[in-house]
Amino acid sequence: MSFRARHLLGIEHLAPDEITTLLDLAETCVDLNRSADKHDNALQGLTQINMFFENSTRTQASFELAGKRLGADVMNMHMQASSVKKGETLIDTALTLNAMHTDLLVVRHPDSGAVNLLAQKVNCAVLNAGDGRHEHPTQALLDALTIRRAKGRLHRLTVAICGDIAHSRVARSNIWLLGKMENRVRLVGPPTLMPSGAEDWGVEVYDDMHEGLKDADVVMMLRLQKERMDGAFIPSEREYFHRYGLDAAKLDKAKDDAIVMHPGPMNRGVEIDGTIADDINRSVIQDQVEMGVAVRMAAMKLLADNLSAARTQPSEVTA
């Protein structure tokens, strides 16, 4: 069992044993985070830069906390406000970061593939914190840890991912991860928000919530971006909530012990009924936030190990 990747760009190129290794390590981070002295010096002396080309409060805070608890020097860069507006390219940004001797680079970018591009040009470990509609690997990993802790396993579960699949990087990373760990994945949503070709992904596609949620172990709701009405994807928030919002009647179709997840931030009354989100017997949404910090700590520890191995013996770690 080992974790060989040099960067965490997506779930697509991870092997199942790498996922398990990371989740096992994250468990120890959960324990650390719950202890009185929430500190470890695993990243002592390393520089972590969080570079967000897209607004984010929660993910950035989670990465920042994870880095600080591991003793890294953490810096946040808000790229909309700085050099991007001056016309600096992603490549120039990468060169700048190299000159600063960055060790861990956390990137969120509105374009699919932008983080892959950056990773080719920097000499540090890169963590994808979300690129366009492509991947959001730490979200899928924190979801996996949450599921594993709630259900006692991460295989042979029926997971319904519901809502705006087309625009969701969370959905794509989860589809990769849950598939690799041998679960049954269903995608549920209006056909306008279903990616073209999804039926060929090895998942089941539903446009009816009642059918899609039937006997599910896990119900994963996705955020509906408010601007989706503009592109004529859906008629209105109220019709969306009526047909695709998670309420008691729809959740009733899932297994009695089904858990409810949401990557946040939630639109209460749009994709999820507030009372379900707050139901401590069903909702694991707060656990997801907690697992987020732990998973990001584990990911950075593993990448830092591989980075130091690569810097001493460049041939031993594969890209």
Partner 1 sequence: MTALLFKNARLIDPEAGTDSIGTLAVRDGKIAGPTGMDDARVIDCDGKCLAPGIVDIGVKVFEPGERHKESFRSAGLAAAAGGVTTMVTRPDTTPAIDTPEILEFVRRRANEASPVRVLPMAALTRGRAGREMAEIGFLMDAGAVAFTDCDSVVTDTKVLTRCMTYATSLGALVIAHPQEPIFSAGAAATSGKFASLKGLPAVSPMAERMGLDRDIAVVEMTGARYHADQITTARALRRLERARAAGLDITAGVSIHHLTLNELDVGDFRTFFKVKPPLRSEDDRLATVDAVASGLIDVISSMHTPQDEESKRLPFAEAASGAVGLETLLPAAMRLVHNGHIDLPTLWRALSLAPSKRLGLETGRLKAGAPADLVLFDPDAPFVMDRAKLRSKSKNTPFDEARMEGRVLGTWVGGAPVFPE
Please report, as ranges, the residues that interact with partner 1 according to CB under 8 A: 12, 89-91, 109, 111-114, 116-117, 131-135, 166, 169, 172, 195-198, 200-201
Q: Considering the complex, state which of residue 113 and residue 191 has its C-beta at the smaller distance from partner 1.
A: 113
- Exposed/middle/buried for 214, CB within 10 Å: 0-12, 13-18, 19+? middle
- How many Å apart are CA 106 and CA 48, to the nearest integer? 7
Q: How far is the CB of 127 from partner 1 (least distance, A)?
A: 17
Q: How far is the CB of 137 from partner 1 (least distance, A)?
A: 13
- Exposed/middle/buried for 162, CB within 10 Å: 0-12, 13-18, 19+? buried
Question: Phi first, then psi: what are they for 7, rounded to 5°?
Answer: -125, 160
CA atoms within 13 A on the CB side of 66: 30
What is the full DSSP assignment across 204-240? Answer: EEES-HHHHTTT-SEEEE-PPPGGGGTTTSSS-HHHH
Q: Considering the complex, state which of residue 198 and residue 285 has its C-beta at the smaller distance from partner 1.
A: 198
Q: How far is the CB of 242 from partner 1 (least distance, A)?
A: 27
Within 8 A by CB and 6+ apart from 314, the residues are none
Q: Considering the complex, state which of residue 159 and residue 194 has its C-beta at the smaller distance from partner 1.
A: 194
Q: How far is the CB of 52 from partner 1 (least distance, A)?
A: 15
Q: Judge contact between 155 and 188, C-beta under 8 A.
A: no
Q: Considering the complex, state which of residue 122 and residue 298 has its C-beta at the smaller distance from partner 1.
A: 122
Q: How far is the CB of 95 from partner 1 (least distance, A)?
A: 12
Q: Considering the complex, state which of residue 200 and residue 256 has its C-beta at the smaller distance from partner 1.
A: 200
